[in-house]
Amino acid sequence: MWVRFDYNEPPAPALPLRDSQGAPRSLADYRGRANVVLFFAHAADCEACREIARELEGARAALQGLDGELVVVWPEGADAPGWLDAGGELRRRYAALLEWDTRGQALAFVLDQHGAPAGAWVGEHDQAAGLAEGAQAQLERLALRCPE
């Protein structure tokens, strides 16, 4: 299920993390230069999360064509390419932007170039088919938004 945010949302959380190679990363690095499609895997050993991440990775070129960058965030201990969220603090902060419990569910956000949330998707893993297409639609909506 996609949720839209108001146009005047403040920037979403941007805690410093590390990628799977140990390099420092932050969502703040994208501010002012790209929209971000942000996917949170809920468990390090979640095979459904890996399938969703592969679907999104397959759409990376299409997302970039819409001025979007893909960031996949894994819990600590995951053996997968992406960013590592030690302790799950970043996911908890993003989940707090929604009004319901997201534990155990797939969670994705689309952030605009200012780091503000434009849309969020949350649902059971078996409902995540087409998540990449939904993210593309959110990016297309951002492209049509008045810059004021």
User: Tokens representing 115?
Assistant: 């780091």
Question: Model confidence at 148, in pLDDT bands (50, 70, 90)?
Answer: low
Question: Model confidence at 119, in pLDDT bands (50, 70, 90)?
Answer: very high
Q: Look at residue 58 in the predicted model and tell me its pLDDT.
A: 96
Q: Look at residue 54 in the predicted model and tell me its pLDDT.
A: 94
**Strands ordered across the beta sheet of 83-85:** 2-4, 117-123, 106-111, 35-40, 68-75, 83-85, 17-19, 24-25
State the average pLDDT over residues 32-45: 93
Say how many residues make up the chain.
148
State the average pLDDT over residues 109-119: 94
Identify which has the larger pLDDT, 109 or 146: 109
pLDDT digits (tens, 9 = 90+) for 71-112: 999 998 888 889 999 889 999 999 999 988 888 888 999 999
Q: Look at residue 3 in the predicted model and tell me its pLDDT.
A: 86
Distances (CA, A) of 4 to 7, 24, 79, 85: 9, 30, 32, 25
* Residue 133 in this model has a pLDDT that exceeds 60: yes
Question: Model confidence at 147, in pLDDT bands (50, 70, 90)?
Answer: low
Q: Look at residue 146 in the predicted model and tell me its pLDDT.
A: 59
In contact, 38 and 110? CB cutoff 8 Å: yes
Q: Which domains does the chain have, with CATH numbers?
A: 2-144 (3.40.30.10)
CA distance 74 to 82: 7
